Structure 1
């Protein structure tokens, strides 16, 4: 399906070229002039230039026709489409399905052609107004109309066969390659770029394009200037490079080749404050920017990730259809991609996604460890229970953990060969820092980050284990078998409540107006933390977007029932000498959140004693402070 619009001023040869192009491509040809209402025709016959109001109804008719023609297999349309706003009105189908072919020539040459035309309602004296109205497009195929129609068709076909890319992808690491293939599989023409460093990274872009040449035609580059020149204007460039200074270096390298209204999309795991800074910097130069979180790993990037774009709404309006096209789909077939909010909102939401992910991974690891080394289940036994639980939980992380538990190498389980020293990329720690800045508790995520840090001290832990003679004590599995699943479900809910509370606070502080229900929805597929719970959250946050998750009636009913199970499992694990930092953090948060009276009055008294920091008083209005001379 495709529609081709041959555009330009009257007399440039639109109809002649359009008919030949339609014949070449075996498509129907239409002339936009045939759809003018009688009153427009009469005006043009009288030598009266059409105004925007005259064209509005005509363009509406054409837009509907273009949509119909596209559904029926395509067409070629000859239409002046002189102004950008006219072209936007005609854009009734996806951008990649509509190709603009702009025929241009000099005023003098076209005037000569018009003087030779007979029996046409357009008067040559109207040509001046057309040139004054003309706004040449910064995209599409541009053809000099001074050649013969046959030569023009040859040039058009050559350019169509090597179609200008609508989007460029900079950086062909694992995620970049997968995204490029995803885009190409959805019919989007892509230019790919990767740096060329002798003996370090050689011919990466070239080899990638060659290895997939049987399926897709990638325009490949290792020179920034040629890469940018290959893109349709205004340009759209996705950066898939390492977060941090590398992003700034890449932007600086691209800037000399960019023009006003070009768009840079940072698809890496950048810090949200860096995204805000880059957006402001680029805005001064007339360049649009979207800080875009992408979750799903290599497989998600290839088959459909969850996408979280943040920045100017106009930037999303321009590229949103492509991002939604390559995103995963929820259970109703809607794209797991939505405009998140202004500034750094997109990367903040992705950061928090990763924070929730850290804690979920920690919970699964703790329960596996407890079941394996204290409750005496073998790996197949643990995998069996996880598999049973996941029929209800539908958790991606639990799903992959089952496969990990069962994977063998030379008849031995691979998991036993993996060193227990976890790494991190920083997003979990960023979440903790953001929570401290906003004054929001983040117990589960912070504990998961700290657990990874202490896991890295492998040599010290081994030495300490020998000194303290610490080994897991055996516990009777049957006594807590029923409680394990309830406890696992409870900590998952608590962790999500903690994470979404941070999102709510950030939204209020930065005025992002985050839609928690919509964020939950785009996390139901494609991303790492997708689960059955996430699907429930879409409804819960839609019904009451302002309430803490732990105060929703459905959640309250479950947590009341599961609270003792969580306490029992953690108590048994700690008594057995099995560390449970993540699950303990979840329980402590729950106990603190549901406690009408805590120990904080003693802390306030201590602060006032040594530092005269004052305190609020029972029975007095909040915000009224007192001091005691101790």
Structure 2
């Protein structure tokens, strides 16, 4: 029952902390301790003399109790009776994560407690000190609140009912990801309340049915929002798994009617980072905490362990981090693929960039497959075998699933050939492009992948244009002759795509003072998420040891220098044969631009100065000086 928890029974003197604490310890079969037994002699003498203790008197006492609390938790749990009247005292005692420390607040009217104290004999606490305790008491907004104007047996029954029934976290929204995350949390031993709205004939008994379908899991299902919120331990932690956009605001508005100060909302969807910043500020004014947590891994990852990217107040992460870390995937060293990313909307920004890199990697595989299939006339089985060989080195999740796709048949036919070639994008790829424009950072491969999805959606126009232009693939290639060069081009493009994504993270970190740890971000992307790969594992070390742009690191320079000819050659061959390779082309163009000391931008600056007098800098003058030329004397 105790699950290695420490229960602190608190309240003013006379509420029965010792009596109830001992009874609770016996009920839970864990030891009982009284905080008064740990007071220094000087404190006891003061109280015997009727002198109230000051904060300075309590500091060392509370520090020692905090140490004891940690020891008791490690040895199986305990019950501690302690007045803990002020919030700062309770903060000092809160030396364990929320999941291991539970507060039980015993209280009643002043007259009730005064009558109890007046009847006690031989206790050093004097009745006249009770008034000062009531004046000092700061009511906690969390924990189990029990009115003690009833029998000890009734009090214990009420406490046990609360301990048994209150749930540790609430999950709002039972879509595919929501259901999988709920199962994940329950499988890790957490008590989870789940909620899904009720809509007649559309969404009926979703939460209750899900609970019934998983009777072995520690769920409570609700379609009543108030009951859902009230089922949670205070301060409450609620994870939202709903669609990004206005829906999140509507959900928050509904939740606010039932929340208390100090409750925490975690947005686990793909919300825009600016919306997350706005929501955190708005809710802070109402006393509600808010975090944006990117979650990657799809249905399987959510169930077995995703990569989680939480951002917001660090104090909020301290509270809910132990839950998130326990349900996250584990890296090769067994550490959770979850870390505190940074303040504001940084968690959702990092998830947005993750998805941007994902767009680039998916398109790169798609165009590589397309070129092999229709340029070299390779059969899907051959391409799958080739990808499998490549993946011995790449260890890429996306390449792995592409192999399975190339082998999946339905009634003897390849399922892939039955899928319409019109891709969709949910917004995060486009948001990455917009963010890069705002920050003045190039995003070639990711932007190319987004635009390729957009043009793929123009299916009818493309079909009509193919007829008008009589577009045909030409210049057939030989699989054996091009596969090595294509593999090098694929690897080079992937490195460039990752370099571009991480450069956007670096720029955002500097602009918004987020202090993002690129090595740690790469680490939590090594498992659970969609873009996990051997390259990502290498980046953990590369960004830990070096802070410069990825393409400037010596080992990467050596690799890219070896792949460069294959990349540009493969792009040229593909285009000449009539095959679009947008991400591969973007990677080649970025690489050539990045490594070119002399660019074409001097002509751009001259043109801007000609028509708009925008001025320019000169090579033969100090940087920072600007000049204008009267290009056409007649103007």
State whether TM-score is above 0.5: yes
What's the counterpart of residue 15 of structure 2? Answer: 12
1:220-619 map, 5 Å: 220-467=221-468, 468-545=470-547, 547-619=548-620
Structure 1 residue 558: Cα displacement:
0.8
2:193 partner SS = strand
1:121 to 96, 100, 124: 124
Give the structure 2 partner of residue 194 of structure 1: 196
Shift of 1:173: 1.1
Per-residue deviation, 1:427 = 0.9
The aligned runs of 1:144-223 (5 Å cut-off) are 144-163=147-166, 165-218=167-220, 220-223=221-224
The corresponding residue for 2:142 is 139
- State the distance in 1 between where 2:281 and 2:10 align: 36
Secondary structure of the structure 2 residue equivalent to 1:249: helix
Superposition CA RMSD, Å = 2.0
Deviations 1:133-191 (A, max 9, x none): 2223222222121111112122222222212x333222111112222222223333322
- Give per-residue Cα distances to partners, 1:381-440, cap 9 Å, x unaligned: 222222222222221111211222222223332212212111110111111111122221
2:122 pairs with 1:81: no
Q: What is the alpha-carbon distance in structure 1 between the residues aligned to residue 71 and residue 106 of structure 2?
A: 25
Aligned partners of 2:53 and 2:214: how far apart in 1?
50
Q: Distance in 2 between matches of 1:498 and 1:375?
A: 30
2:219 partner SS: coil
Q: Deviations over 1:309-330 (max 9, x none)?
A: 2223333333233222322222
Stretches of structure 2 that go unaligned for 5 or more consecutive residues are none
Query: Is 1:51 aligned with 2:54?
Result: yes
CA distance in 2, matches of 1:44, 1:472: 95
What is the DSSP-based 3-state SS (H/G/I as helix, E as strand, rest coil) of the residue aligned with 2:310?
strand
Q: CA deviation at 1:472?
A: 5.0
TM-aligned CA distance change 1:284 to 1:100, over 3 Å: closer
Aligned equivalent of 1:626: 627
Aligned residues of 2:408 and 2:415 also touching (Cα < 8 A): yes
Give, in whole Å, the separation in 2 of the partners of 1:74 and 1:501. 47
Give the Cα–Cα distance (whole angstroms) in 1 for the partners of residues 411 and 389 of structure 2: 27
The partner residue of 2:68 within 42, 48, 65 is: 65
Q: Secondary structure at 2:135's aligned position in 1? A: helix
Say which SS state the counterpart of residue 100 (structure 1) adopts: strand
Structure-1 separation of matches of 2:272 and 2:418 = 34
Q: Do residues 25 (structure 1) and 20 (structure 2) align? A: no
CA distance in structure 2 between the partners assigned to 1:185 and 1:86 by the alignment: 35
SS of the residue corresponding to residue 406 of structure 2 reads helix
Which deviates further from its counterpart, 497-506 or 605-614? Answer: 605-614
TM-aligned CA distance change 1:313 to 1:24, over 3 Å: closer
Partners of 1:115 and 1:280 in 2: how far apart?
49
Distance (whole Å) between structure 2 residues aligned to residue 253 and residue 17 of structure 1: 37
Distance 2:284 2:48 in 1: 46
Whether the 8 Å contact between 1:308 and 1:349 is mirrored in structure 2 is yes
Q: Cα 1:463–1:367, aligned 2, differ >3 Å: closer, same or farther?
A: same
Deviation at 1:469, TM superposition (A): 4.0
CA contact (8 A) 2:50 2:126 kept: yes
Deviation at 1:344, TM superposition (A): 2.2
Give the distance between the partners of 1:327 and 1:537, measured in 2 at CA. 20
Q: Displacement, 1:234?
A: 3.0
Contact (CA 8 Å) 2:141, 2:262: kept in 1 or not?
Answer: no
Distance 1:282 1:28 in 2: 40
> Bigger shift: 54-63 or 240-249?
54-63
Q: Distance in 1 between matches of 2:75 and 2:448?
A: 58
Distance in 2 separating the partners of 1:103 and 1:242: 41
User: Residues 53 and 213 (structure 1 numbering): CA distance in 2 closer, same or farther, change over 3 Å?
Assistant: farther
| SS of aligned partner of 1:307 | strand
Structure 2: distance between partners of 1:245 and 1:185: 32
For structure 1, list consecutive stretches of 5 or more residues without a partner in the other structure. none
Q: Do the aligned residues in 1 keep the contact of 2:173 with 2:242 (CA within 8 Å)?
A: yes
Q: TM-score, normalised by structure 2?
A: 0.94
Range that drifts further, 573-582 or 88-97: 88-97
Distance verdict in 2 for CA 1:217–1:343, change over 3 Å: closer
- Could you tell which deviates more after superposition, 576-585 or 229-238? 229-238
Contact 2:141 2:260 in 1 (8 A): no
Q: Distance in 2 between matches of 1:368 and 1:581?
A: 13
Question: What is the SS of the residue equivalent to 2:360?
Answer: helix
